[in-house]
Amino acid sequence: MRKYLPFTIIALLSSLLSVTLFNFISPRRVVWSEDASGDVRYAHLVDKLFSDRTNSPFRSSSPTDFIIAAEMATPAVVNIKALIEESGGLWQGGSMTGSSGSGVIMSPDGYVVTNHHVVERSTDIKVTMADKREFSARIVGSDPSTDIALLKIDGRDLPFVVFGNSDSVRVGEWVLAVGNPFNLESTVTAGIVSAKGRNINILRGGASIESFIQTDAAVNPGNSGGALVNTAGELIGINTAIITESGSYEGYSFAVPSNLVQKVIRDLREFGSVQRAFLGVSVQDLDAETAQEMGLPNGEGVLLNRVASDGGAAEAGLQNRDVVVGINNTRVRSTSELLEFVGRFRPGESVTLDYWRNGKKLRSSVHLKDVNNSTKIARVQGNELEDELGFEIRDLSNSEKNRIRLQGAVVNSITKGSLVYQTNMQPGFVITSVNGSRVKSAAEAIDAIKNAYNNLSIDGYYESEPDLYSYRFKKRGG
């Protein structure tokens, strides 16, 4: 045994000498990292195993599981089944079709947010919770320009999801999609945020707002209206769409940011319709070539193509070819980001714009207006005539306008035994004129009916029927 001892000692000394020489001669490894300010810095490997400081730019580490977030969100995500009555005409029977999707309970007294396209034209809506309780729901209001709808169910002490701040969401952040794909209840999938401010041209109408959060969390038919939550279980978006050629998930899904959702549902709850504010401009994304021609530092920003003479932007001094790069001290890179931010405000409120003109950076405060260049809040809810005449009306959706090529207001519901019920008018009737005067919206129709002395003549059309229908009756007391 003693004869092997010298060899063992020599081997150990040789190994120690080799390691020492390698560490002395070999170069130190360098890791490139970027901090939150965008400054590139070096991050050398630390000499000790546990350091008092870390060079990681992240404020928190990614979780190894999503159990807590899933347990917080899942009870508040519901399954929605919406029945649509397809009219076969005045003298023909109709048929019932249905759609299904998801929704998110936003308050313990039963307000539920979902997508407009899930409940559009629905006459009967059923909401089923994760614990199998079922409720009938009514539509409080719906906004096709953001694809958001607000429902109400009669409940107390219901589980609900807390809003998170979608502006603070970062690309690369872990998120969960919770919904009911293919009617598979309470399904949770995970992914990361792969982009923000994404426009995929899925919503119709010139006033639509598309500034989606893009994720790779699996979303399939039936997930629409469900929750996109962060790892704290906070709602950061409403899942709305996928890009697909097969009809099912193929890699990317898109959610309406929670900050925009909050504004929309507040309006729907308070007014029954969205109080939409506008800058009064026509815009396009800035490209690198145009930015170079204008002497701008980069291609980020929004180019103003046209500034309406009576809009808020014109009154604030903005001009054609100005390039907006910021709003309320928040950087603006694209038209989708600008439209989303403005969409969070109501007419009469103000925003501060930063913009480039002739190589100089300027700032102006813009007083926002509605589509009619008014700063007043429109308070029409559609049920103003229910007590007196027995029907509710609403504005035509963008899809209905494109489909039937009419302007006016659509009859949403009729109370049995009411004055309107006795005329044989049917839900779905599109009012185009009142006492011979054309109406273009629910607000105009309500004003015209209220201002009529006693005799009423309401004219309009039913979808897929070319004939003009007229309903004549007297108001109560007339």
List residues with catalytic annotation.
117, 147, 224
Q: CA-to-CA distance for 113 and 146, rounded, in angstroms?
A: 12
Question: Nearest to residue 381, comparing CAs of 390, 392, 371, 372?
Answer: 392
Which residues have CB under 8 Å from 243's CB, separation 6+?
200, 250, 251, 252, 254
With b for 16 or more beta-carbon neighbours within 10 A and e for fewer, the 399-421 pattern comes to bbbeebebebbbbbbbeeebbbe
Q: To which residue do tokens 């920003």 refer?
A: 301
Rounded (5°) CA angle 81-87-91: 150
Element (H, E) at 449: helix 442-451
Residues 125 and 154: beta-carbon distance below 8 Å: no
What is the spatial distance between Cα 442 and Cα 274, in angstroms, rounded to a whole number? 13
How far is residue 254's CA from residue 226's CA, in Å, rounded to a whole number?
11
Tokens for 377, please give them: 């809040």
User: Which of 184, 254, 161 has the alpha carbon at shortest distance from 214?
Assistant: 254
Dihedral sign from CA coordinates of 259, 123, 401, 181? positive
Q: In this structure, is the dihedral angle defined by the CA atoms of residues 248, 252, 258 and 262, taken in order, positive or negative?
A: negative
From the DSSP assignment, how many helices (H) and strands (E) are in the chain?
Answer: 11, 26
Burial of 37 (0-12, 13-18, 19+ CB in 10 A): exposed
Q: Are 303 and 285 contacting, i.e. CB atoms less than 8 angstroms apart?
A: yes
Indicate the DSSP class of residue 409.
Answer: E
Residue 314: phi, psi to the nearest 5?
A: -65, -40
Query: CA-to-CA distance for 293 and 62, rounded, in angstroms?
Result: 43
Distance, CA of 195 to chain centre: 15
Distance, CA of 306 to CA of 318 (rounded, Å): 10
